[in-house]
Amino acid sequence: MKIKGPILFLIGMAGALALGWYAFPRALYKKIEQPLQFSHKVHTGKDAGMACADCHSLGEDGRFSGIPKLDKCSTCHSAQMGTTENEKVLVEQYVTPNREIPWLSYLRQPENTYFPHAVHVKLAELKCEQCHGQHGASEKLRPLEVNRVSGYSRDIWGQSISRFRKQEGDGMKMDDCISCHAKSGREDGCIDCHK
């Protein structure tokens, strides 16, 4: 049969496409659950009415606090306020024994990169959502997806494995920094980020 060859070729091609687009991304990343569930929505919603900067603040010297320390949580949660299981775990396993929560960071930059929040938030006046999307309104914390080869978080590459039609704030590779800086007319040198 003359068409057998092309069919097999197409089958191989289709298999590879399926493998590359579907199976590969799933196999590449391992998922690690956060130590505790946390709802940004509850905290930033109408009831609590908190702003991002209430927990993720910039210090007087411009240093970004990053993920808040336990004392920030225990200011309100020294005792259980509600009825949820997650709050109970927070109080019993972390606040009461004064044990820091080993949060996993989604956007930890590589060692050779210097990223100042102060410059982007204060000088460039970027909104948190421009880089972090709707994370501040999320109901639960998604698992951290760690690349099995590089060890980087998936958020650095971005959720789209192809990096095509990428949403704003999806991905934090050097290309993303350069592209955003180019849009805002910034001229940069290597040493601006790689000190």
Give the Cα separation of 165 and 167 in Å (integer).
6
Q: Which pairs from 111-120 meet CB under 8 Å and 24+ separation? A: 112/194, 113/193, 113/194, 114/193, 114/194, 114/195, 115/193, 116/62, 116/64, 117/58, 117/64, 118/58, 118/62, 118/63, 118/64, 119/62
Least separation, in Å, of the C-beta of 27 and another protein? 10
Size of residue set near another protein by CB under 8 A: 37
Sign of CA dihedral 115, 174, 111, 187: negative
Least separation, in Å, of the C-beta of 90 and another protein? 22
Binding region for another protein (CB under 8 A) out of 35-43, 70-78, 107-115, 119-127: 107-115
Cα 175 to chain centroid distance, Å, stands at 17
Q: Taking CB under 8 A as the rule, does residue 151 contact another protein?
A: yes
The residue among 12 and 45 lying less far from another protein, judged by its C-beta, is 12
Least separation, in Å, of the C-beta of 157 and another protein? 8
Q: Taking CB under 8 A as the rule, does residue 111 contact another protein?
A: yes
Residues that bind another protein (CB under 8 A): 4-6, 8-17, 19-21, 24-25, 28, 61, 63, 110-112, 114, 147, 149-152, 157, 161-163, 190-191, 195
